[in-house]
Amino acid sequence: MKRNLVVMLMLFAMSFVFVTETKGQKTAKAQGDKAGLEQTVNELFDAIKAGNVEKIKSHYTSDYTFTGQDGKMVGVEERVKQLSAGQNTVVDVSGINVRTYGGTGVVTGAVTTKNKSGATEHTRFTQAWTWQDGRWQLAASHVTTVAP
């Protein structure tokens, strides 16, 4: 009888450990979902507003491309340089729409910026994200000026 009780207690303890590990794995994997991407996008815009160059750069894939309002494409280094130069300050980000398709995410939204002379500019953006190495990384983005 005692032996059966000990075996049952051991099985119960092992099942508790298994359930706990499974829940932990689901939580870690869940960051590759829509909510995880939305959180990552917000972190990127917070880093841009704060001018945190290293944090900004950490969100990009090594082959990231940015297409600006002028139609010119630049890579990671040039884009980080543009953002850290302080030519435009992000005032507001709104209308963010996050969609995921497996390991790919598409984010759209609007940004209001101010340039050094204080003029306000309204733009819309599209971002292509990829789930790589256990995190969301920005692979490409495009910005378009909103007509007045």
pLDDT tens digit sequence for 59-84: 999 999 999 999 999 999 999 988 88
Report how far Cα 107 is from the mean position of its chain's Cα atoms: 9
pTM score of the predicted model: 0.77
Residue range 102-133, pLDDT digits in tens: 999 999 999 999 988 889 999 999 999 999 99
Class of domain 34-145: alpha beta
pLDDT of residue 110: 97
Residue range 7-65, pLDDT digits in tens: 444 444 444 433 334 444 444 455 889 999 999 999 999 999 988 999 999 999 999 99
Residue 38's H or E segment, with its range, is helix 34-50
Q: Which two tokens stand for residue 135?
A: 């995190």
Residue 138, SS3 per DSSP: strand
Going by C-alpha positions, the residue among 108, 145, 102 that lies closest to residue 127 is 108
pLDDT of residue 92: 93
